[in-house]
Amino acid sequence: MTGPTTTAPDRPTLAIVLTGGRGSRLGGVEKALVQHAGTTLLESTLRALARGGALRVVLVGPHEPPEAPADEHAIAWRAVVEEPRFGGPALALAAGVTALAEWQRADGGASPDDRDTWVTVLACDLSAPERALDVLDARGAGIDDDGVVLEDADGRAQWLTARYRLPALREALEEVEPDTSVRRALGGLDLALVPAGDAVADIDTPEDLSRVGASVPVTVVSGRMAATNDDVVKEATVSVPPNLERWVAELAPRLGLEPDDVPVPLLLDLARDVAHGAVRPGAPVSAFMLGLAIGTGRVTDLEAAAESITELADGWAEADRRTHEVRSADPEDATGE
């Protein structure tokens, strides 16, 4: 929405930074450690926040930060781990909000219950976080707005590149469940959407690494050492065809879903692993069974369940390989006698 600007500070002193999930589309690389412009994405995010006036930052993700932020930022920071781990960005954001509110109460900071207490929210995978903050600084919030959310070049809301009234954000996330989309969790807030173009460009895929000239550290990718971007490109998640994105966007509303609710890359990976490791027709059947298990509440951790299916498929593939080796070594089997 639009409206007259409020007197809320353009640059809140409170911030929450989401440090990333599994990094599956980068072959398991932790986004916080990706190198860009001579530093890590986590460091560049904190540096941008410090220059913008942030004084307290909560880092939140499925594990402790892969590196300790440097003291040079003059920012007080705390790290929290979402529970359950890998529960999705909405759950991570909720954990960050809770930790920040407790911190404020304990140290006598701005009241987390005061409607004029604002918090900046950033994911740590932005290629130029300072540009995103500049756009937020330039756009004040309306008096009745619960927050300001930036939109990318395609007009999609970037819920994790935003500023929110802390009480409104807390209320929206109070009962969030694992794997709830951020759009669903925050869609009921009264938000100002601000076009930001490539100021919100992130580094999410191997193609993004190449586009911005970023690099990855030596890391373990699929059980082996990977030292170059090429290794990540080879091992990363199956890319999503543009037509498939459009199909999901049109199909989701017919099934009462939001497109963001559909973990397309995860499902493509799952289908590939089952088709190659077990039996090709098992790919769509496995995807349906996974969705059924999630929908009925029998499974709550989507990514863990997908990993379990992949492990089973890998086991089938290994068993087939051993059987083939035994048969190849059996002279009678080879001659058919």
Where would I find the beta strands (DSSP E) of the chain? 14-18, 35-36, 39-40, 56-61, 76-81, 118-123, 147-151, 157-165, 191-195, 219-221, 224-226
- pLDDT given for residue 71 in this prediction: 56
Both tokens assigned to 56: 């307290």
Q: Environment class of residue 212 by beta-carbon count within 10 Å: exposed (0-12), middle (13-18) or buried (19+)?
A: middle
Residue 215 falls inside a structural domain? no
Distance CA 267, CA 284 (A): 9
What integer pLDDT is reported at residue 183 of this predicted model?
93
Residue at 113 is within a domain: yes
- Between CA 142 and CA 6 the distance in angstroms is 6
Task: Say what the pLDDT of residue 98 is.
Answer: 96
159: phi then psi, degrees, rounded to nearest 5: -60, -25
Q: Which domain holds residue 252?
A: 238-327
Paired tokens of 120 = 């900046």
- Domain-located, residue 118: yes
Question: What predicted TM-score, i.e. pTM, was given to this entire model?
Answer: 0.66
Q: How far apart are CA 64 and CA 20, in angstroms?
A: 11
Counting the structural domains of the chain, the total is 2
Last residue of a domain, one of 152, 183, 200: 200
46 and 139 part of one domain? yes
Domain containing residue 84: CATH number: 3.90.550.10
- Rounded distance, CA 68 to CA 206, Å? 25
According to the model, what pLDDT value does residue 249 have? 83
| CA-based torsion, 39, 40, 43, 46: positive or negative | positive
Q: Are residues 59 and 148 in the same domain?
A: yes
Q: Are residues 19 and 126 in the same domain?
A: yes
Judgement on whether residues 98 and 43 belong to the same structural domain of the protein? yes
Task: Tell whether 107 is covered by a domain.
Answer: yes
Single-letter code of the amino acid located at 175: E
**Residue where a domain stops, chosen among 200, 226, 260:** 200
Whose structure tokens read 């190449």? Answer: 210
What span, in angstroms and rounded, lies between the C-alpha atoms of 85 and 67? 18
Do 195 and 266 lie in one domain? The reply is no
Question: Tokens at residue 203, please?
Answer: 């580094």
* C-alpha of 45 from chain center: 15
Shared domain check, 260 and 195? no
Query: Exposure of 2 by Cβ count < 10 A (0-12 exposed, 13-18 middle, 19+ buried)?
Result: exposed
d(CA 10, CA 99): 23
Please indicate, yes or no, if residue 206 is contained in any of the structural domains. no
Question: Does residue 226 fall inside a structural domain?
Answer: no
How far, in whole angstroms, is CA 227 from its chain's centroid?
23
192 and 43 assigned to the same domain: yes
Q: Are residues 289 and 157 in the same domain?
A: no
In the chain, the amino acid numbered 31 is K
Q: Is residue 114 part of a domain?
A: yes
Same domain? For 101 and 246 the reply is no
Each of the 337 residues of the chain gets a pLDDT tens digit; together they read 434 444 444 578 999 999 987 666 666 667 887 888 778 888 899 999 999 999 999 999 887 765 556 555 668 899 999 988 888 899 999 999 999 999 998 987 778 889 899 999 999 999 999 999 999 999 877 788 999 999 999 899 999 999 999 999 999 999 999 989 999 999 999 999 999 999 999 988 777 777 777 766 544 333 333 334 444 433 444 455 557 777 888 888 888 888 878 887 788 878 877 877 787 788 888 888 888 888 888 888 888 888 889 889 888 877 877 776 665 555 554 444 4
